[in-house]
Amino acid sequence: MRDRYDRAMIIIALFATATIALEAFVCLLIADFLAGLLHWAEDTWLAPGASPLLDKWVVLPNIDHHRRPGAIREGSYWVNNQVSIFLAAVPLLLLVGLNVHAWEPYLVILLASQSNQFHMWAHCANPPALVKLLQNSGLLQRAALHAVHHKRPYGVRYCTTTSYLNPILDRIDFWRGLERIAVRLGATVYRATPVRQGY
Ligand SMILES: [Zn+2]
Ligand SMILES: [Zn+2]
């Protein structure tokens, strides 16, 4: 009787652990998608000259990253991640203000705030050992996969955290579909055009 009880408790504990792991994995995918959406929007719709603030913090660094991909390795943690952390603070304050207690949205925000760190590691031939392990597992994206994004016209592989979303989103032509809708609504695609110096 006691054995059966212990076995049941072990199964319940394993099930609970697997559920939490699965939820955390879904949070990682959502964070990857949100950061990819932002990256796609930057590459596609932003051109210098609209706002000095946007130029300084988003547009020019974005163009520079396409021009000099390896330079991301020279930036400090703070230089590489400050904009993402600042952006993530907005939904974080909103969740706190709304008294949201579920851990999942906070994990999404935390992971999304680190998206440029994961991106930076996808530019390293020799990242830290644990990162390399995670890259080999697919949980983080390795350099060979991200390198494809850096080919003109910068039209694919916008998600830079995991290895899982890009094959699906690119296969179903997700980004071009969004662009067709936006263009029909009057938006202009600036990606890889002279206003972005070809980047
Ligand atoms: Zn890009
Ligand atoms: Zn990159």
Q: What angle do CA 156, 162, 165 make, to 5 degrees?
A: 50
Kindly give the distance from the C-alpha atom of residue 89 to the centroid of ligand 1, in angstroms, as a whole number: 23
Kindly give the distance from the C-alpha atom of residue 158 to the centroid of ligand 2, in angstroms, as a whole number: 9
Kindly give the distance from the C-alpha atom of residue 155 to the centroid of ligand 2, in angstroms, as a whole number: 13
Kindly give the distance from the C-alpha atom of residue 157 to the centroid of ligand 1, in angstroms, as a whole number: 8
Looking at the predicted structure, is the pLDDT value of residue 197 above 80? Answer: yes
- Report which DSSP code applies to 68: -
Kindly give the distance from the C-alpha atom of residue 6 to the centroid of ligand 2, in angstroms, as a whole number: 50
Please report which ligand is nearest the Cα atom of 39: 1
Average pLDDT over residues 28-49: 98
Contacts of 155 (CB under 8 A, 6+ apart): 175, 176, 191, 192
Side chain identity, residue 38: L
The predicted pLDDT at position 195 comes to: 96
Mean of per-residue pLDDT scores for the chain: 96
Per-residue confidence band for 7, with pLDDT thresholds at 50, 70 and 90? confident
* Structure confidence by residue, pLDDT tens digits, 82-96: 999 999 999 999 999
- Report yes or no: 195 and 48 within 8 Å, Cβ to Cβ: yes
Kindly give the distance from the C-alpha atom of residue 184 to the centroid of ligand 2, in angstroms, as a whole number: 29
The predicted pLDDT at position 26 comes to: 98
Side chain identity, residue 63: I
Residue ranges covered by each domain of the chain? 2-196
Looking at the predicted structure, is the pLDDT value of residue 168 above 80? Answer: yes
Please report which ligand is nearest the Cα atom of 145: 2
Per-residue confidence band for 6, with pLDDT thresholds at 50, 70 and 90? confident
| C-alpha distance from residue 22 to each of 15, 18, 28, 31, 79 (Å) | 10, 6, 10, 14, 32
The predicted pLDDT at position 4 comes to: 82
The predicted pLDDT at position 198 comes to: 97
Looking at the predicted structure, is the pLDDT value of residue 57 above 80? Answer: yes
The predicted pLDDT at position 2 comes to: 74
Looking at the predicted structure, is the pLDDT value of residue 152 above 90? Answer: yes
Q: What is the 3-state secondary structure (H, E, C) of 97-166?
A: HCCCCCHHHHHHHHHHHCHHHHHHHCCCCCCCHHHHHHHHHCCCCCHHHHHHHHCCCCCCCCCCCCCCHH
Kindly give the distance from the C-alpha atom of residue 126 to the centroid of ligand 1, in angstroms, as a whole number: 22
Per-residue confidence band for 29, with pLDDT thresholds at 50, 70 and 90? very high
Average pLDDT over residues 67-81: 97
Kindly give the distance from the C-alpha atom of residue 143 to the centroid of ligand 2, in angstroms, as a whole number: 9
Q: How many CB atoms lie within 10 A of CB 66?
A: 18
Kindly give the distance from the C-alpha atom of residue 59 to the centroid of ligand 1, in angstroms, as a whole number: 11
